[in-house]
């Protein structure tokens, strides 16, 4: 181990192993996670060693190979798809595997299909006799589902639906696993019966032959071309021309087209939200928090190995993490990684509670859950995307090399801001919920406990008198609460004003949209800070860990006030002098957390293989590894034809013969 990194580990103020266990939810889970990761990483089939050198075609092939082999492996190890090991498998594979949409295909059949449909399709899918995808997004429409243009017309005579892509913007575009792999897909289309439109419904459509994998009649499908990341995934397009499917292929748990064309609906339509909510919550941990933790691990380890310039004349060059500016870039991101790990726990709990209630046909918590999952999905993905980018840029030139692992983390997490609901639109959905609750609360109607604070919004002053007061969670949580309440109430007032002055409701909403989105973000930020503080509070038994977590919580909270000063200063809740105290306290925390920075990332417990980074490995042999890996690059192994063909004549000044 590089001595610069080793020395960082000797001064940890807490036990890394206990923190890891606590993050995992118990030592037993840590043990299981390590066993799973070990089993996967020791299997050469799952190696990601050459990932950075592969073409799109090679990446896709590798992903399919791994997915196929994984079935065998899971069988061998006795793991199941709904077992506790599954999420660790995903972590070990770093998502670099095919058939993820196949799982969504199965989930949507299980949730939206009747018992009969489940009995028919699920066994086929789980045996991989068919491979599924999920075709919702179109070329012309994404988050706004009602705008989808694919049609499914019911033909009573044949008892079939006729599916069509009426124009180019209606083409299905983006679904994973669909470009090359899938044999079937769930297509979302506007249902027409006897010329009347009944809105969006899901249909199972076969798109490729089960014999030779060629496209079925009426189907045009393929890969949508290179993207910023997800080279391994065959995101696809799909065009349907008079494709006929039997009546039974419409997923009909909640509604049905009867043989005579009669349309029957039962159950709550709200349940449709529930699928989206599930996905949004689950992506926070797998696709967002894990990458940000990895990026912090890489950047922080590299920052104690890299030495640059001198802090004091005559001394050795300083570790770049000893520079205040570097600390100010990285440590708030580290704090955020922890904050969002905890908010994920919070959302899981909320979700589980709602799930239990739904089992008893009680849908009361759904709106709150929906609003929260939307807002947090938007806030967390946006925050973490920028956090990963900060980590990337904090590694200077070497961060730009694919071998650092950071560009791949960044391009992947970036996509999370868009898929499963575009962030701005999601924030506005949360805002709608908040405004509604605010209105209700101000007229004395009951609102969910998480938003009761909206009613209490009133002018006030922050009571802090010196910089140490800002290390009191009550002080800063109160400040966040005040800011969120103020932003929600002033957006509501503005909306009200516009409507009263005769502006139409929809126009008024659009004219306030920027404010509304800001209010929703402030709400989520407040809940994150509050939840972090409460989590730390509950940690009383583990002193060493509690202390460092308290510092991180303070840092997260004060960083937010420091970088959004205007929101807190606006109505004088925090005064100019108090803002100076916030800044002082915030900057004071940096060197304190600096001491534990490496142990704090070690606690995330990523193996070198899963980081796949020349800069971030546990032993800190950064430069040797960069040099070794670069030599493996195909550009150094294969002779490029460029020399013989172009360079040689150029060098020999025979340009005219080219």
Q: Which of 571, 592, 595, 607 binds other proteins (CB under 8 A)?
A: 571
Question: Whose Cβ is closer to other proteins: residue 143's or residue 348's?
Answer: 143
Only one of the segments 40-48, 108-116, 355-363, 412-420 lies at the binding site for other proteins (rule: CB under 8 A); that segment is 412-420
Question: Whose Cβ is closer to other proteins: residue 102's or residue 201's?
Answer: 102
Q: Which of residues 572-631 bind other proteins (CB under 8 A)?
A: 572, 576, 579-580, 587, 623-624, 626-627, 629-631
Question: Residue 50: how many CB atoms within 10 A of its CB?
Answer: 13
Q: Which of 7, 11, 45, 57 binds other proteins (CB under 8 A)?
A: 57
Q: Which of residues 279-308 bind other proteins (CB under 8 A)?
A: 306-308
Binding string, residues 425-464; x marks residues near other proteins by CB under 8 A:
---x------------------------------------
Q: Which of residues 226-265 bind other proteins (CB under 8 A)?
A: 226-228, 234, 237
Does residue 656 touch other proteins according to CB under 8 A?
yes
Greatest CA separation for the chain: 91
The nearest distance, CB 539 to other proteins, in angstroms, is: 29
Only one of the segments 106-114, 249-257, 548-556, 567-575 lies at the binding site for other proteins (rule: CB under 8 A); that segment is 567-575
The DSSP bridge partners found for residue 319 are 307
* Cα dist from 420 to 287, 328, 423, 459, 463, whole Å: 12, 32, 9, 38, 41
Secondary structure of residue 94 in the 3-state scheme:
coil
Does residue 38 touch other proteins according to CB under 8 A?
no
Does residue 223 touch other proteins according to CB under 8 A?
yes
- Helix runs in 603-653, H state only: 608-611, 622-632, 634-637, 641-642, 648-651
85, 149, 231, 420: which is the annotated catalytic residue? 420
CA-based R_g, the chain, Å: 27
Question: Residue 351: how many CB atoms within 10 A of its CB?
Answer: 20
Question: Whose Cβ is closer to other proteins: residue 206's or residue 450's?
Answer: 206
Q: Give me the sign of the Cα torsion angle 11, 15, 21, 22.
A: negative
Long-range contacts of 456-459, Cβ-Cβ distance < 8 Å, separation of 24 or more: 456/485, 457/482, 457/485, 457/486, 457/488, 457/489, 459/571, 459/573
Is 188 within 8 Å of 201 (Cβ atoms)? Answer: yes
Does residue 49 touch other proteins according to CB under 8 A?
no
Only one of the segments 18-26, 177-185, 288-296, 457-465 lies at the binding site for other proteins (rule: CB under 8 A); that segment is 177-185
What is the DSSP secondary-structure string of 562-581? Answer: HHTHHHHHTTSSS-HHHHHH
Q: Which of 332, 375, 407, 560 binds other proteins (CB under 8 A)?
A: 407
Task: Give the per-residue SS3 of 63-86.
Answer: HHHHHHHHHHHHHHHCCCCCCCCH
Is 406 within 8 Å of 392 (Cβ atoms)? Answer: yes
Question: Whose Cβ is closer to other proteins: residue 222's or residue 367's?
Answer: 222
CA-to-CA distance for 444 and 431, rounded, in angstroms? 20
Q: Which of 73, 103, 141, 469 binds other proteins (CB under 8 A)?
A: 141
Secondary structure of residue 582 in the 3-state scheme:
helix
The single-letter DSSP state of residue 216 is: P
- Annotation marks residue 420 as catalytic: yes
The nearest distance, CB 253 to other proteins, in angstroms, is: 27
Question: Whose Cβ is closer to other proteins: residue 53's or residue 355's?
Answer: 53
Only one of the segments 34-42, 218-226, 343-351, 532-540 lies at the binding site for other proteins (rule: CB under 8 A); that segment is 218-226
What number of chain residues touch other proteins (CB under 8 A)? 135
Question: Whose Cβ is closer to other proteins: residue 23's or residue 475's?
Answer: 475
Does residue 87 touch other proteins according to CB under 8 A?
no
CA-to-CA distance for 388 and 397, rounded, in angstroms? 15
Q: Which of residues 306-365 bind other proteins (CB under 8 A)?
A: 306-313, 317, 322-326, 328-329
Rounded to 10 degrees, the C-alpha dihedral 529/532/533/539 comes to 180
Q: Which of 178, 189, 245, 403 binds other proteins (CB under 8 A)?
A: 403
Binding string, residues 519-538; x marks residues near other proteins by CB under 8 A:
--------------------
CA-to-CA distance for 643 and 525, rounded, in angstroms? 56
Question: Whose Cβ is closer to other proteins: residue 220's or residue 362's?
Answer: 220
Q: Which of residues 535-564 bind other proteins (CB under 8 A)?
A: 564
The catalytic residue positions are 420
């Amino acid at each position: 181990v590089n001595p610069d990194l080793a020395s960082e580990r000797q001064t940890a103020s807490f036990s890394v192993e206990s923190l890891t266990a606590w993050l995992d939810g118990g030592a037993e889970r840590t043990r299981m996670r390590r066993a799973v990761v070990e089993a996967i990483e020791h299997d050469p089939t799952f190696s990601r060693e050459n990932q950075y050198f592969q073409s799109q075609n090679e990446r896709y092939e590798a992903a399919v190979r791994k997915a196929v082999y994984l079935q065998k492996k899971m069988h061998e190890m006795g793991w199941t798809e709904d077992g506790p090991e599954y999420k660790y498998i995903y972590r070990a594979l770093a998502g670099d595997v095919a058939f993820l949409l196949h799982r969504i295909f199965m989930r949507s059949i299980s949730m939206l299909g009747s018992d009969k449909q489940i009995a028919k399709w699920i066994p086929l899918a789980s045996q991989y006799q068919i491979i599924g995808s999920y075709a919702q997004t179109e070329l012309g429409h994404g988050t706004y589902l009602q705008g989808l243009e694919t049609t499914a017309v019911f033909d009573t005579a044949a008892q079939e639906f006729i599916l069509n892509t009426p124009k180019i913007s209606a083409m299905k575009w983006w679904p994973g696993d669909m470009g090359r792999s899938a044999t079937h897909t769930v297509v979302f289309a506007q249902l027409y019966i006897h010329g009347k439109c009944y809105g969006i419904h899901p249909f199972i459509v076969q798109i490729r032959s089960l014999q030779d994998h060629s496209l079925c009649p009426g189907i045009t499908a393929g890969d949508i071309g290179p993207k910023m990341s997800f080279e391994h995934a065959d995101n696809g397009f799909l065009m349907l021309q008079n494709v006929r499917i039997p009546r039974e292929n419409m997923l009909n748990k909640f509604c049905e087209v009867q043989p005579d064309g009669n349309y029957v609906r039962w159950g709550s339509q709200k349940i449709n939200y529930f699928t989206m909510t599930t996905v949004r919550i689950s992506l926070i941990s797998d696709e967002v928090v894990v990458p940000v933790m990895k990026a912090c691990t890489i950047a922080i380890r590299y920052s104690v190995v890299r030495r640059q310039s001198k802090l004091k004349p005559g001394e050795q060059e300083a570790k770049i993490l000893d520079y205040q500016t570097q600390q100010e870039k990285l440590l708030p991101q580290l704090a955020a990684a922890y904050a969002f790990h905890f908010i994920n726990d919070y959302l899981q709990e909320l979700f589980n509670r709602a799930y239990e209630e739904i089992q008893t046909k009680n849908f009361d918590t759904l709106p709150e859950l929906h609003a929260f999952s939307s807002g947090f999905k938007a806030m967390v993905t946006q925050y973490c995307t920028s956090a990963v980018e900060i980590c990337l840029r904090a590694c200077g030139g070497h961060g730009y090399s694919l071998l650092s692992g950071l560009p791949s983390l960044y391009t992947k997490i970036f996509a999370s801001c868009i898929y499963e609901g575009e962030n701005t639109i999601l924030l506005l959905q949360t805002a709608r919920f908040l405004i509604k609750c605010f209105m209700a609360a101000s007229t004395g109607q009951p609102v969910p406990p998480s938003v009761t604070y909206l009613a209490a919004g009133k002018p006030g002053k922050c009571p802090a008198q010196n910089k140490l007061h800002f290390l009191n969670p009550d002080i800063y949580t109160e400040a966040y609460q005040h800011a969120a309440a103020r932003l929600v109430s002033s957006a509501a007032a503005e909306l009200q004003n516009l409507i009263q002055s005769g502006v139409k409701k929809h126009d008024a909403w659009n004219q306030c949209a920027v404010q509304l989105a800001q209010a929703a973000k402030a709400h989520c930020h407040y809940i994150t800070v509050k939840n972090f503080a409460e989590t730390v509070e509950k940690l009383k038994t583990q002193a060493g860990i509690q202390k460092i977590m308290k510092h991180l919580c303070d840092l997260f909270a004060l960083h937010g006030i420091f970088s959004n000063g205007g929101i807190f200063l606006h109505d004088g809740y925090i005064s100019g002098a108090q803002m100076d105290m916030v800044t002082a306290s915030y900057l004071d925390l940096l060197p304190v957390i600096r001491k534990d920075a490496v142990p704090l990332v070690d606690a995330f417990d990523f193996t070198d293989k899963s980081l796949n980074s020349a800069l971030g490995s546990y032993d800190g042999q950064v430069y040797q590894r960069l040099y070794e890996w670069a030599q493996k690059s195909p550009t150094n192994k294969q002779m490029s034809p460029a020399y013989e063909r172009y360079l040689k004549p150029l060098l020999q000044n025979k340009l005219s013969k080219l």
